[in-house]
Amino acid sequence: MKKIISALTVLALIALSMPVLADPAVDAKAAILMDFGTGTVLWELNPDEPLPPASVTKVMTMLLTMEAIDRGEIGYDTVVTASERAKSMGGSTIFLDAGEQMTVDDLLKGIAVASGNDACVAVAEHLAGSVEAFVERMNQRAAELGMNNTHFVNCNGLDAEGHYSSARDIAIMSRELMRHPDIFRYTTIWMDSLRGGAFQLANTNKLIRFYDGATGLKTGSTDGALCCVSATARRDDLHLIAVVLGSPDSKSRFASARELLDYGFANYRNVRLGEKDKTVTSAPVKKGLKDQVTLVSADDAFALISADRVNAVKTETRLEPDISAPIKKGDSLGEVVTTLDGEVIASCRLIAAENIGRRTVFSYFKSLMEEFMSV
Three-state secondary-structure class, residue 319: strand
Question: With contact defined as beta carbons under 8 Å apart, do 92 and 204 qualify?
Answer: yes
Q: Which residues contact 109 (CB under 8 A, 6 or more apart)?
A: 186, 189, 192, 194, 201
What is the spatial distance between Cα 211 and Cα 66, in angstroms, rounded to a whole number? Answer: 26
Amino acid at 94: I
316: part of which helix (H) or strand (E)?
Answer: strand 313-319
Q: Is 16 exposed, middle or buried (0-12, 13-18, 19+ CB in 10 A)?
A: middle
109 is catalytic: no
What is the spatial distance between Cα 308 and Cα 7, in angstroms, rounded to a whole number? Answer: 20
Instruction: Please state whether the peptide bond connecting residue 326 to the residue before it is cis, i.e. omega within 30 degrees of 0.
Output: yes
115 is catalytic: yes
Select which of 6, 29, 58, 206 is catalytic.
Answer: 58
Select which of 55, 92, 174, 230 is catalytic.
Answer: 55
Q: Which residues contact 249 (CB under 8 A, 6 or more apart)?
A: 226, 227
Select which of 6, 83, 92, 115 is catalytic.
Answer: 115
221 is catalytic: no
The set of catalytic residues is: 55, 58, 115
